[in-house]
Amino acid sequence: MQPVKLAIVGGGPSAFYVASRLLSLLPQSDPKSPFLRVHMFDRLWAPHGLVRYGVAPDHPEVKNCTNKFDTAATDPRFRFFGNVNVGSTPLSSIPHALSLPLPALLRNYTHLLFATGCTLPTLHPAIPPSQYCIPALSLVHWYTQHPSNPPTPSLENLTHVTLIGNGNVSLDIARILLTSPSVLQKYDVPQHVLDVLSRSAVKHVSIVGRRGPLEAAFTNKELREMMTLPEASMVPLDPTLLVPPEGTTPTRQQRRTLELLQKGSQNTFGSTPKTWSLDFYRSPTSLVPPPSSSPADMAQLTLAHTHLDPSTNRAVPTGETSSLSTSLVVTSLGFRADPSTSFFDPSSDHLSAHAGRIVSPGGTPLKNVYASGWGANGAKGVLATTMRDAYAVADTVLSDIVPGAGGVETTPGGDHSGVGMEVAGDLMLNPNPHPEDPPEEIERGIKDGLVTQYEDWRAIDAEEVRRGEVLGKERERMGWEEARRFIGSSSR
């Protein structure tokens, strides 16, 4: 069997699940296993992607999957290289990331997997970003201390926040804004975030959805958490909204949603200092800034009233509109892949992939080039979905490297004109690279203290937890500059 040296672009859960499965299915102790090396590259200096920088801090149980990732990283055949941006386009949001051209990977690896995720927010065409309208990702990255260093929201000047979209991310943000910092302080919330939350003037959060309760994107678990917020109560819904349309048979989950909404919040509306509402059958059409910069003045959000077209299940305008006064609009409409990513498909807003393989414009799979997770399939599903997909992709890789496993017809890696400018031409993966070494740019980056490795992360992780214990919380996070100094001092 030919040696296998796999480069994985991305360091989130999908990347780790693929790596973990390959390493476990091809144990080093088995003489029948091929020579295998797995090198993972991430633009962020810390591993685990959305698990570290997307999961709500008050959901620590969701992060338990990192134990499995840590186990995979102990395999001597695995290496992680963080703070590395693969591609020809510099990252303006993370300027300290080392730039690694894609051809450097092609020269140094036999196989290549893209697990790059969907890193950009989907914006609403009617209300573009402004001082009064920001994407949800900006807030999520703020309270998780993402290396892109998003601006700190002026919560002390906001009394009413409107979320567009009623998925779990919207409910996460609403819950953070409506929960006392005294409750959040035990979790993985940076101290500077808690300081801002302690000055927050937010009294009400509106959660706007263009369709009805049966089509809401949030899960019942997240809804129950909203219903039991200690300092907030829900504005009661019009009872007619909770009656399924004639001829509709709700699923068990939908019936439970209607029951929760009918029951309402644990606290009676009007008995709490903070409130929240679910505004169904509403779709934004415009946002007019306030007449002055006074915090008392609010922007005016115009909402089109909608109803559900039973033939298409799509929301269509009724012709009626209403206006909502709000301090800030936060759009939470999903995510898309970065168009500068190699093999990006603009028709799908994610990579040009099928069944775990990167495909040419003609639909032919490229030899030894794979894709997994949100980058391959779009931003959908939960961690369990990601794991199942990643395992399937790992099995696809396995079918290509183990004799007799039964592969599929592919085209050489150089035959992909029109898929990505930076990989055009005759560039191909190297069937005989150095068996151990990463690209020379990575070696220099490690010496210069720019590229992190998994042992660096282990030291930082332990220190963050130690600092958190001193403060009586889960952990206290480091930013890049502090982490770099810490790594430097630890290595001396």
Q: Which residues are annotated as a binding site for FAD?
A: 14, 50, 86
CA dihedral 60, 61, 67, 70 (to 10 degrees): -30
HSE toward the beta carbon, residue 204, CA cutoff 13 A? 14
CA distance 349 to 106: 24
C-alpha 95, offset from chain centre: 20
HSE toward the beta carbon, residue 406, CA cutoff 13 A? 0
CA distance 286 to 300: 8
Are 158 and 327 within 8 A, CB to CB?
yes
HSE toward the beta carbon, residue 431, CA cutoff 13 A? 6
At 337, is the secondary structure helix, strand, or coil?
coil
> What is the number of residues in the chain?
492
Residue list, annotated binding site for NADP(+):
166-169, 210-211, 222
CA distance 238 to 78: 56
The amino acid at 228: T
At 5, is the secondary structure helix, strand, or coil?
strand
DSSP letters, 443-457, are HHHHHTT-SB-HHHH
CA distance 153 to 193: 10
Q: Is 425 left (phi over 0), alpha (psi -120 to 50) or beta?
A: left
Residue list, annotated binding site:
14, 50, 86, 166-169, 210-211, 222
- DSSP 8-class letter at 236: P
In 56-212, DSSP assigns E strands to: 78-82, 84-86, 98-100, 111-114, 120-121, 133-135, 160-164, 204-208
Output the six-digit token pair for 275: 């409130």
At 99, is the secondary structure helix, strand, or coil?
strand
At 175, is the secondary structure helix, strand, or coil?
helix
